């Protein structure tokens, strides 16, 4: 596991921001490993990600907010500090389709996703066998008609008890309430089996097939109160032809879903995403 810190900054664009941050880190013996930035000229915004080695860093993490405050105040920064030695705790939500779940579990087992997965939550029992195979606690929380509020209350209890930082909807086929997304702002990642904003909602492959499209896609995004309208993290597409039937579209689409969801989760747990307005910046 890396022993690094990541500083993420959003502020009004101005001269001297990079110099001020670099100077601050230099004065505390930081060895900067990666630095990236983006300016949104239309909005007058500056966004930045800096990662440095904590070995030899002369400032205790608990002291960082107080010492960095003058720099942050000078440039009206919104910022946060993340550390690689504190892995993101991820809850996986799934329904009956388990291809995204299995892909994430495999990537986690092989070390590609450097996070903790303390639980899997489902409204169906089908995925329990995979939870047992990967030795992760499985929680069945049914969502009967009219039972969403009670189901989410149980889910909130589980998430709090397991100190979950991020919820991943690995083809969890339930619409989350506004209360849920407000409790976890930009901390719920969903995968939609369509290249948003096309074919929002249910059965997008069926509607794509009926429309005769030549490209199908998948989208990972942060879930918000507005269905399929959250900030987009990643998208990908595959070409199809008139020879492809509905089942072919679904099969090809599932491969895309796994890829775009795993990328989004990896970028989130590596602290590479900054959200502003309805957009995201993904730092390399």
Look up the CATH number of the domain holding residue 176: 3.40.50.170
Q: What is the pLDDT of residues 229-283, one digit of tens each?
A: 899 999 998 888 788 788 888 788 889 999 999 999 999 999 999 999 889 999 9
Radius of gyration over alpha carbons of the chain, in Å? 21
For residue 63, which of 87, 88, 28 has the smallest C-alpha distance? Answer: 28
Domain end call among 83, 114, 133: 83
What are the C-alpha distances in Å from 37 to residues 34, 150, 203, 222? 10, 43, 38, 22
- List the catalytic residues: 228
Q: What is the pLDDT of residue 284?
A: 87
Chain centre distance of CA 175: 17
Domain end call among 31, 66, 83: 83
Q: Verify that 136 and 161 share a domain, yes or no.
A: yes
Residue 31: CATH number of its domain: 3.30.70.260
Q: Verify that 33 and 128 share a domain, yes or no.
A: no
Q: What is the pLDDT of residue 201?
A: 63
Q: 20 with 67: CB under 8 angstroms?
A: no
Q: What is the pLDDT of residue 205?
A: 66
Residue 259: domain span? 89-282
Chain centre distance of CA 101: 15
Q: Verify that 114 and 210 share a domain, yes or no.
A: yes
Q: Verify that 110 and 251 share a domain, yes or no.
A: yes
Q: List, as one string, the DSSP characters of 193-211.
A: SS-TTSS-SS-HHHHHHHH
What are the C-alpha distances in Å from 59 to residues 38, 73, 141, 271? 27, 19, 44, 21
Domain end call among 83, 108, 141: 83
H or E, element range at 89: strand 89-94
Residues with Cβ within 8 Å of residue 28, at least 6 apart in sequence: 57, 58, 59, 67
Q: Verify that 105 and 40 share a domain, yes or no.
A: no
For residue 91, which of 161, 163, 167, 142 has the smallest C-alpha distance? Answer: 167
Q: Verify that 96 and 223 share a domain, yes or no.
A: yes
Over the chain (284 residues), the average pLDDT of each successive run of 10 is: 93 97 97 96 96 94 95 98 95 96 98 97 97 98 96 98 98 94 96 68 70 81 87 91 80 90 98 94 94
Q: 235 with 215: CB under 8 angstroms?
A: no
Q: 216 with 249: CB under 8 angstroms?
A: yes
Q: What is the distance between the alpha carbons of residues 201 and 220, in angstroms, rounded to a whole number?
A: 14
Q: Verify that 104 and 68 share a domain, yes or no.
A: no
Residue 45 tokens, joined:
């915004």
What are the C-alpha distances in Å from 23 to residues 19, 68, 203, 250? 6, 11, 53, 52
Q: Verify that 95 and 71 share a domain, yes or no.
A: no
H or E, element range at 122: strand 116-122
Q: Verify that 76 and 93 share a domain, yes or no.
A: no
Q: What is the pLDDT of residue 196?
A: 54
The number of distinct structural domains making up the chain is: 2
Q: What is the pLDDT of residue 122?
A: 98
Beta bridge partners of 222: 189
Q: Verify that 162 and 183 share a domain, yes or no.
A: yes
Residue 230 tokens, joined:
């959250």
Q: Verify that 119 and 250 share a domain, yes or no.
A: yes
Q: Verify that 238 and 221 share a domain, yes or no.
A: yes
Q: What is the distance between the alpha carbons of residues 259 and 264, in angstroms, rounded to a whole number?
A: 9
């Amino acid at each position: 596991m890396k022993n690094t810190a990541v500083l993420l900054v959003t502020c009004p664009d101005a001269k001297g921001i990079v110099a001020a941050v670099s100077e601050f880190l230099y004065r505390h013996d930081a060895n900067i490993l990666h630095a990236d930035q983006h300016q949104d000229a239309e909005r007058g915004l500056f966004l930045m990600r800096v990662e440095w080695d904590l070995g030899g860093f002369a400032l205790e993490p608990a002291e960082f907010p107080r010492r960095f405050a003058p720099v942050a105040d000078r440039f009206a920064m919104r910022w946060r500090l993340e550390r690689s030695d504190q892995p993101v705790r991820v809850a996986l939500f799934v329904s009956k389709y388990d291809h995204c779940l299995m892909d994430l579990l495999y990537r986690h087992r092989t070390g590609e996703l450097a996070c903790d997965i303390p639980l899997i939550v489902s409204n169906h029992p089908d995925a329990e066998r995979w939870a047992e195979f990967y030795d992760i606690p499985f929680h069945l929380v049914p969502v009967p008609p009219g039972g969403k509020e009670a189901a989410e209350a149980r889910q909130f209890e589980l998430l709090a008890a397991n100190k979950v930082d991020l919820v991943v909807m690995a083809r969890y086929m339930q619409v989350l309430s506004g209360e849920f997304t407000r409790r976890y702002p930009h901390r719920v990642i969903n995968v939609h089996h369509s290249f948003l904003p096309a074919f929002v909602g249910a059965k997008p492959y069926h509607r794509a097939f009926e429309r005769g499209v030549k490209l199908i896609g998948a989208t990972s995004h942060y879930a918000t109160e507005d269905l399929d309208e959250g900030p987009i993290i990643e998208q990908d597409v595959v070409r199809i032809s008139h020879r492809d039937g509905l089942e072919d579209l679904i099969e090809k689409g599932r491969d895309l879903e796994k890829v775009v969801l795993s990328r989004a989760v990896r970028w989130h747990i590596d602290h590479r995403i900054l959200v502003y307005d309805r957009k995201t910046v993904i730092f390399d």
